[in-house]
Amino acid sequence: MLPPLSCDSHTHVFGPPERFPFRAATNYTPPDSPFEGHASTMRSHSIERAILIQPVPYQTDNAAILDAIARSGGRLKGIGVQTGEASAVELARLNEAGICGLRFNEMTNPNGHGRYQGAIGVEHLAPLAPAMRELNMHAQIWAAAETSVALATSLEPLGLPLVFDHMAGIDVTRGVGDPTFQALLRLLAQGHIWIKLTVCRVSKTSANDYSDVRPFHEALVRENPERLLWGSDFPFVRLEDRMPDMKRLIEIFLDWTPSSAQQKVLVDNPARLFGFAQRPLRA
């Protein structure tokens, strides 16, 4: 059973397209997953809080996640997307509406070359950093593990919390002794970074097995549970052939994570990083 006020720290909403049209062509077909379906899924699994991550197809148009946040009664917050040209006034407006961080995408498209089509990269972060610091916002980054390690060092002078999506892009085929993974563990232990535990995004096994990820999950939890977050990645974009089951993802987290760390990862850490109120604004 999940503890009260548990947070799914990596989810998305898409559409409806007539209200929230996509702004860019992408390397995948966006699903139909509006606010109502998201709310129903979270509620049916006793997840009281969630973070909406701005999907690539919307680029810098954060309207869909802002609408969902406004309708959520304090249960949702968002990670938006902006370019380096965004003003401090615009960031303050987004922050007031529930956007507590910005996302930057450095992940290489597995079906092509370079970043995902339409992605906003970390080259846009430095101009935004002063205003983000003033607003207590953080940066979320999706990148391969080697890039994550390099960025953790190069971006540290910006003075922003750095959150790495999808287990910091680890390659589970390399094993936990991989030097890059060991570097991530050191950064985590030192409190320099946050990492999201999103097993379905890095596993190479069949759907809802994910046993190849377990040694990495357990190593991260042992190293520093106070810098970890849990995310499902609902509604599981690009995983149609290995569609995860939300109930199974929750069971895996509870099975792999000591009870002493579950409250931290699911409740305390998200409340602290994302700035949730002590209780949702309304039931």
CA triplet 166, 197, 61: central angle to 5 degrees?
A: 45
Determine the pLDDT at residue 282: 43
Per domain, the residue ranges of the chain are: 7-274
Average predicted confidence (pLDDT) for the chain: 94
Determine the pLDDT at residue 63: 98
- Place 111 in a pLDDT band, splitting at 50, 70 and 90: low
For residue range 33-83, list pLDDT tens digits in order.
999 999 999 999 999 999 999 999 999 999 999 999 999 999 999 999 999
Domain 7-274 has CATH 1.20.1070.10: no
CB atoms within 10 A of CB 281: 9
Determine the pLDDT at residue 108: 78
Residue % of the chain over a pLDDT of 90: 86
* Single-letter amino acid, residue 8: D
Q: How far apart are alpha carbons 95 and 150 in whole angstroms?
A: 28
Residue % of the chain over a pLDDT of 70: 96
For residue range 231-277, list pLDDT tens digits in order.
999 999 988 888 999 999 999 999 999 999 999 999 999 999 999 97
Q: Is the pLDDT assigned to residue 112 strictly greater than 80? A: no
Stretch 1-5: mean pLDDT: 95
Q: Are 30 and 57 in contact (CB under 8 A)?
A: yes
Q: Are 81 and 120 in contact (CB under 8 A)?
A: yes
Stretch 161-184: mean pLDDT: 98
For residue range 116-137, list pLDDT tens digits in order.
777 899 999 999 999 999 999 9
For residue range 179-192, list pLDDT tens digits in order.
999 999 999 999 99
Beta-carbon-side half-sphere exposure of residue 58 (alpha carbons within 13 Å)? 26
* Single-letter amino acid, residue 193: I
Determine the pLDDT at residue 277: 76
Q: Which residues contact 24 (CB under 8 A, 6 or more apart)?
A: 56, 57, 58, 59, 117, 118
- Place 279 in a pLDDT band, splitting at 50, 70 and 90: low
For residue range 134-162, list pLDDT tens digits in order.
999 999 999 999 999 999 999 999 999 99
- Place 113 in a pLDDT band, splitting at 50, 70 and 90: low
